């Protein structure tokens, strides 16, 4: 059974940084591409960043070079380093992967950015 668990969320002032982590279990992380999504209150869940099994990454347009997704296959962990966080971008951040044709999601971690 594949399970994901996010951590590292919290409150930060605008311009600050946070590092989110996603612990992967059930099968070796190296077999899966991974993504981070976020969902703000009243909004649809949207992709933030993605990383392939080979380590190639892709980002949503709004990231504008401020975030970095990385993976450590030895630790079965995927991180999202977020810098220059903007005021008003409170959201729950989720890590996700596709396994046996199904999307698997973690429980999410809350990020709040204050002015």
What pLDDT was estimated at residue 87? 87
Contact 26, 3 (CB under 8 A): yes
Q: Where are the beta strands (DSSP E) in the chain?
A: 3-7, 10-13, 18-25, 34-39, 46-51, 57-59, 67-72, 77-82, 91-99, 102-105, 109-114
Identify which of 65, 115, 60, 64 has the alpha carbon closest to the alpha carbon of residue 93: 60
Residue 42 per-residue DSSP state:
T
Joined together, the tokens standing for residue 37 give 């999504």
pLDDT in single tens digits along all 115 residues of the chain: 889 999 999 999 999 999 999 999 988 888 889 999 999 999 999 999 999 999 999 999 999 999 999 999 999 999 999 999 998 778 999 999 998 899 999 999 999 998 7
Cα 95 to Cα 97: distance, rounded to the nearest angstrom = 7
Contact 113, 86 (CB under 8 A): yes
Contact 11, 87 (CB under 8 A): no
What pLDDT was estimated at residue 11? 95
Joined together, the tokens standing for residue 11 give 């409150």
What pLDDT was estimated at residue 10? 96
What pLDDT was estimated at residue 69? 98
């Amino acid at each position: 059974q594949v399970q994901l668990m996010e951590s590292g969320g919290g409150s930060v002032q605008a311009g600050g940084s946070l590092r989110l982590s996603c612990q992967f279990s059930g099968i070796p992380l190296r077999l899966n591409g991974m993504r981070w999504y976020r969902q703000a209150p009243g909004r649809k869940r949207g992709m933030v960043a993605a990383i392939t099994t080979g380590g190639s990454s892709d980002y949503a347009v709004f990231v504008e070079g401020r975030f970095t997704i990385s993976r450590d296959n030895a630790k079965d962990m995927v991180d999202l380093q977020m810098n220059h966080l903007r005021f008003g971008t409170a959201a729950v951040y989720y890590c996700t992967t596709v396994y046996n044709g199904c999307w698997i999601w973690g429980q999410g971690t809350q990020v709040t950015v204050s002015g």
